[in-house]
Amino acid sequence: MNLRTLQDLDFVGKKVFLRLDLNVPLKNGVIKDDTRIREAIPTIKYILERTNKVAIASHLGRPDGEVDLNYSLEPVGVRLAELLQRDVVFVNDYMTEPYDQVLGQLDPQQLVLLENLRFNAGETKNDLDFCRQLARGIDLYVNDAFGTAHRAHASTVGVADLLDPNRRAAGLLMEKEIQALGSILNHPEAPFTVIMGGAKVSDKIAVILSLLNRCNHLIIGGAMAYTFLKYKGHAVGSSKVEADRMDLVETIFRNAEARRVQIHLPIDHGCAAAFKEDAVREDIAERAIPAGLMGLDIGPKTVEAYGRVIRNSRTVFWNGPMGVFEWKAFAQGTMDIARAVAACEGRTVVGGGDSVSAANQAGVADKISHVSTGGGAALEFLEGRVLPGIKVLLK
């Protein structure tokens, strides 16, 4: 992929529109996790070393085109100022106050942060007038928000399209993501194991079929495992099953057989009588789940079996939890798999919000080769698609 990077641009004295992913968890104006802010710092510093005329833009949450101060980026600006030791000038209404004029008046120790892009309906609609407003007076465009690269929005595609291709580039994090996920698609060292969890087969079918062309092992966990087990004729009790998606599971098995990929399914389970956080866990030491119980986690024998496959792998990609890991009684399987991935001596990549959260909870994120910031974007990239937010950054 011939990507235009920061090294391809001359920033000296230029005005820069910098699209970041600052979509951090906020509660009552307090940032609960500043990981995404900290991950953006290297790109910000690279640009600031060459020009101080930087306007940072991001979305936060889903305010649906309306001003909702619960989703204001102002607390993010405060945290940015702390991390950068610079004054962050917060531009609240850049539709009536052209921010390019603010850029021209900045002191050397200042930079600009625009209010939540999604306060304007033109952002998600990629509205031309909104794009023109954002691009007004801008010399260079940089996108470091890989997590939104699969969205053809104003700030990810429209603004870039208004500038010549040689004035656009990917940030350091975007470049890192593309290299890491590209290695999974193009140069995975065998044995290559894909661990796929989550709720629905239908949500993951495209990426599974893509990775079946490359992997040696496919490990299945989460609620989708019960659809696979049901297809194979095993009793799953009252577990959640996509009964109308058995054709997708058949397609996966057929493709796996044709490519000699081994599919691994749970052989024991952590169950409960109801889908409730305070439900009492009941461990079932066999593959069949009795009537009246639903699977909510993989069991210890499954963890051991999956762990053996992971340990012997040279490349691992993990997306999706092994159960309802948000609930303490059913988190063990996911935590154990996170630790197994971290202990693998091969190249390990974790993608998807829940998997990343699990790796952080298990305290092993720093032992994984690459932790992707993109959930849906990472999966669409691994489907083999050229994402719109990346396409505009190619030479």
- 256-311 pLDDT, tens per residue? 999 999 999 999 999 999 999 999 999 999 999 999 999 999 999 999 999 999 99
- pLDDT exceeds cutoff 90 at 27: no
> Is residue 194 located within the same domain as residue 161?
no
Domain boundary among 141, 174, 207: 174
- pLDDT tier for residue 325 given thresholds of 50, 70 and 90: very high
Residue pLDDT, tens place only, 310-323 = 999 999 999 999 99
> Is residue 243 located within the same domain as residue 94?
no
- pLDDT tier for residue 30 given thresholds of 50, 70 and 90: very high
Assign 338 to helix, strand or coil.
helix
Question: What distance in Å separates the CA atoms of residue 141 and residue 159, rounded to the nearest whole number?
Answer: 8
Phi, psi at 54, each rounded to 5°: -120, 125
- pLDDT exceeds cutoff 90 at 25: no
What is the pLDDT, as a whole number, of residue 369?
96
Question: What distance in Å separates the CA atoms of residue 86 and residue 253, rounded to the nearest whole number?
Answer: 55
- pLDDT tier for residue 169 given thresholds of 50, 70 and 90: very high
What proportion of the chain, given as a percentage, has pLDDT over 70?
100
> Is residue 234 located within the same domain as residue 117?
no
* Within-domain flag for 394: no
Return the DSSP state at 189.
Answer: P
> Is residue 113 located within the same domain as residue 44?
yes
> Is residue 107 located within the same domain as residue 206?
no
Question: What distance in Å separates the CA atoms of residue 149 and residue 387, rounded to the nearest whole number?
Answer: 6
Could you give the strand order of the β-sheet that contains 217-220, starting from the edge strand earlier in sequence?
262-264, 217-220, 192-196, 315-319, 347-350, 370-371
Q: Average pLDDT of the chain?
A: 95
Structure tokens at 84: 């950068």
Average pLDDT for 62-71: 95
Question: What distance in Å separates the CA atoms of residue 271 and residue 128, rounded to the nearest whole number?
Answer: 52
- pLDDT tier for residue 91 given thresholds of 50, 70 and 90: very high
* Within-domain flag for 293: yes
User: What's the alpha-carbon Rg for the chain, to the nearest Å?
Assistant: 23
* Within-domain flag for 310: yes
Nearest residue to 383 via CA among 206, 258, 146: 206
What is the pLDDT, as a whole number, of residue 98?
83
Residue-wise DSSP of 29-60: TEES--HHHHHHHHHHHHHHTT-S-EEEE---
What is the pLDDT, as a whole number, of residue 332?
97
CB 238 within 8 A of CB 292: yes
Return the CATH number at 86.
3.40.50.1260
Per-residue b or e along 22-55, where b marks 16 or more CB atoms closer than 10 Å to that residue's CB: bbbebeeeebeebebbebbeebbebbbebbbbbb
Nearest residue to 133 via CA among 163, 104, 168, 99: 99
Catalytically active residues are 36, 200, 353, 376
Question: What distance in Å separates the CA atoms of residue 305 and residue 264, rounded to the nearest whole number?
Answer: 9
Nearest residue to 58 via CA among 96, 16, 99, 113: 113
Domain count, the chain: 2
> Is residue 342 located within the same domain as residue 224?
yes
Residue pLDDT, tens place only, 344-358 = 999 999 987 688 889
What is the pLDDT, as a whole number, of residue 15?
97
- pLDDT tier for residue 220 given thresholds of 50, 70 and 90: very high
What proportion of the chain, given as a percentage, has pLDDT over 90?
89
Average pLDDT for 31-41: 90
Return the DSSP state at 279.
Answer: P
- pLDDT exceeds cutoff 80 at 248: yes
> Is residue 167 located within the same domain as residue 196?
no
What is the pLDDT, as a whole number, of residue 262?
98
Assign 142 to helix, strand or coil.
strand
Question: What distance in Å separates the CA atoms of residue 232 and residue 165, rounded to the nearest whole number?
Answer: 51
Question: What distance in Å separates the CA atoms of residue 176 and residue 342, rounded to the nearest whole number?
Answer: 19
Residue reference for tokens 């009246």: 292
* Within-domain flag for 395: no
CB 227 within 8 A of CB 204: no
Nearest residue to 299 via CA among 327, 263, 323, 318: 323
Domain boundary among 174, 203, 234: 174
- pLDDT exceeds cutoff 90 at 376: no
Question: What distance in Å separates the CA atoms of residue 134 and residue 113, rounded to the nearest whole number?
Answer: 12
> Is residue 329 located within the same domain as residue 368?
yes
Return the DSSP state at 323.
Answer: S
What is the pLDDT, as a whole number, of residue 96?
82
Question: What distance in Å separates the CA atoms of residue 311 and residue 48, rounded to the nearest whole number?
Answer: 43
CB 288 within 8 A of CB 320: no
Average pLDDT for 141-147: 97
* Within-domain flag for 213: yes
- pLDDT exceeds cutoff 80 at 13: yes
Domain that holds residue 243: 188-382
